[in-house]
Amino acid sequence: MVGNVTGQLAYVDNVKLTAIPFKVRTKNVFYNGNVAIKGISVVEMTSTKARASVTSGGVGFTSTNIKLKSERGDGLNYQIQIFV
């Protein structure tokens, strides 16, 4: 979690990508709004070694790009929430 995640919820996305043997799964999640982002919550719904990173924008900006990346052979299962 980054920033204040108790404000108004502006965006929710449940990202699920199934595992493919020997492959790394990646997904970019884009958000573009009119109001500055106050908080971002990215929750992994399963216990894997996947990573999430903000690659552009984020808290204080009106847009963001969040990159999700799995370990080799694993899938992705995340819930992303953006608060304004």
Please, are residues 10 and 84 in contact by the beta-carbon 8 Å criterion?
yes
3-state class (DSSP) for residue 54: strand
When the pLDDT of each residue in the chain is averaged and rounded to a whole number, the result is: 94
pLDDT above 80 (res 2): no
State the number of CA atoms in the 13 A half-sphere of 18 facing the CB. 2
Question: What pLDDT, on a 0 to 100 scale, did the predictor assign at position 5?
Answer: 82
pLDDT above 80 (res 1): no
**What does the DSSP 8-state code read for residue 70?**
P
**What does the DSSP 8-state code read for residue 71?**
P
Separation between Cα atoms, residue 55 and residue 1, nearest integer Å: 15
pTM of the model: 0.89
pLDDT above 80 (res 62): yes
Question: What pLDDT, on a 0 to 100 scale, did the predictor assign at position 72?
Answer: 95
- 36-62 mean pLDDT: 93
Question: What pLDDT, on a 0 to 100 scale, did the predictor assign at position 3?
Answer: 79
